[in-house]
Amino acid sequence: MSYQALYRKWRPSEFDEVKGQDHIVTTLKNQINADRVGHAYLFCGTRGTGKTTVAKIFAKAVNCLHPVDGSPCNECEMCKAINSQTSMNVIEIDAASNNGVDNIREIRDEVTYSPTEGRYKVYIIDEVHMLSIGAFNALLKTLEEPPSYVIFILATTEAHKIPITILSRCQRYDFKRITIDTIAGRLSDLIQREGLDVEEKAVHYIARAADGSMRDALSLLDQCVAFYLGERLTYDNVLEVLGAVDTSVFSRMLRCIDGGRFVEAVRLLEEVVIQGRELSQFVLDFIWYMRNLLLVQGSGDLEDILDISAENLAALKEEAQTIDNAKIMRYIRVFSELSNQVRYSSQKRVLIEVALVKLCRPTMEQKGTSLEDQMLALAERLGVLEKQLENGIVVTAAGGAGGAYPGGANMPGAGGAGYPGAGGPGAIPGGPAPKAMPEDLKAVIGEWGRIISDVPMSMGIMLKAAQVAQGADNKLVLGFSDPMHKAYFEQENHKQDLEGAIAARIGKTVEIVPTMLEERKEQTGEFYIPSKVNLSGVDFSFEDE
């Protein structure tokens, strides 16, 4: 006898063997027990979740001579005939290849004849969404009022393509994706019955790679076992057969990107290529890895949502403590765009390397990218500068000239002070900076756009919406239209952060006074200068698009 694929050999023959669809199985069994069987059913859901299998079991159950708790006995003549596909009571039709009006008219003519044996004539129409509009119209009347001995079961993976007139005539059952644990449990049971030697970690990976499909899981297991026939199937063997990448590689890649180590990232990609891994799958799996990492940062109790082992969850939690979630979101956006590009590209490796350059070297970020990506790139670039300053590395201007703040120009009113915090005229080396004079405040207002680019991103967004003016006693007045923004800068730590950023620019101390725009105008009638200023020469700006 020729070899039979595992998904065919171990296809469930009764309701109790169906895994992961308890809500549907229970409902159908109750209908059979109560003799409340409907005339039209719609089974919809992703591939490999049991739609056709449940349809066949249901067809056996309604015709079974001795049903057991709503499930077929598989012992009577009717069950045996249906199992051997010799029964005239169960008609399976593939709508993908029989999608014309004439095919449906044949069915309409056949339903007029009652079954020669058994109670019901069951029509199982698979991939019903492939029917033409004319075929759907031909099916309408028969589907609404079929003879009492006819049951229609329509199966589809794309229910949205079915006309509403058909949907309204059917009982709809949505088949869910099967969980990883359920698939792994079923595989372990079948592996034991088959007498195979498979590592538990390998079983769990196959279950995850199946993406909720029991049939895909059995096909992948069949493929891996065939490659290592007679040997123990290990986790590494499965990765080799499926062209997949171990999660440890994703962790190493993420650390290289976060650390800006482009050379190491490219060498790691080279290892992936040499091992024969599929690059498109590598990108998708890396996105999924970062998604899990982001969810772990958001909550510490997401085992059910993540569908990963306790070992991998512990590793993710440790990894989550080392990287900022804003960076992860940017990495996910970049790789999501990349996944669409590599799908149809013949130069997948080149595209991935370009993406690695973009992430490892934020200074190369293009101006045409989204505002949010520019802001995140700027934050990364400032982080690099901070690390260099902490390590004692001298940070010079991009242009290599005089003033060392971004743009390479000398700060007006600061006398060519270095950046950051080199001190302007009258600054005391190693001592506190002198208080700002009126001309210094004018310089601050003129360079406001550069100053708000020095502060943290969240603070900069609020300052962009503010208006700034020179107040009494050489104080800098910030006018806000949002009371929450005003309250933010009234907090002493935030106020000191902004004053420190200003002092780093001009070498003078400036006291800021946050206030509401309307209140200030009523009291003094001061004219506020909008914060939208010329930011030419700055690598990043908060200018409106």
Mean pLDDT of all residues in 508-524 = 71
Token output for 500: 């420190």
Indicate the pLDDT class of residue 486, thresholds 50, 70 and 90.
Answer: confident
- Which pLDDT score, from 0 to 100, does residue 60 have? 92
How much of the chain is in helix, strand and coil states, percent to nearest 5? 55, 10, 35
Which residue carries 């070992």 as its tokens? Answer: 311
Whether the predicted pLDDT of 473 surpasses 60: yes
Residue 161 DSSP class: G
Distance CA 410, CA 484 (A): 35
Q: Look up the pTM and report it.
A: 0.58
Average pLDDT, the chain: 79
Indicate the pLDDT class of residue 129, thresholds 50, 70 and 90.
Answer: very high
Distance CA 131, CA 402 (A): 74
- Which pLDDT score, from 0 to 100, does residue 377 have? 61
DSSP string, 99-150: -SHHHHHHHHHHTTSPPSSSS-EEEEEETGGGS-HHHHHHHHHHHHS--TTE
Whether the predicted pLDDT of 498 surpasses 50: yes
Whether the predicted pLDDT of 342 surpasses 70: yes
- Which pLDDT score, from 0 to 100, does residue 425 have? 39
Q: What is the pLDDT of residues 429-454, one digit of tens each?
A: 445 567 778 777 888 887 787 788 77
Whether the predicted pLDDT of 300 surpasses 50: yes
For residue 284, the tally of other CB atoms under 10 A from its CB is 17
Indicate the pLDDT class of residue 151, thresholds 50, 70 and 90.
Answer: very high
Share of the chain above pLDDT 90, in %: 21
- Distance in Å from the first CA to the final CA of the chain: 70
Distance CA 284, CA 342 (A): 10
- Which pLDDT score, from 0 to 100, does residue 447 have? 77
Residue 424 DSSP class: -
Q: What is the pLDDT of residues 51-69, one digit of tens each?
A: 999 999 999 999 998 888 8
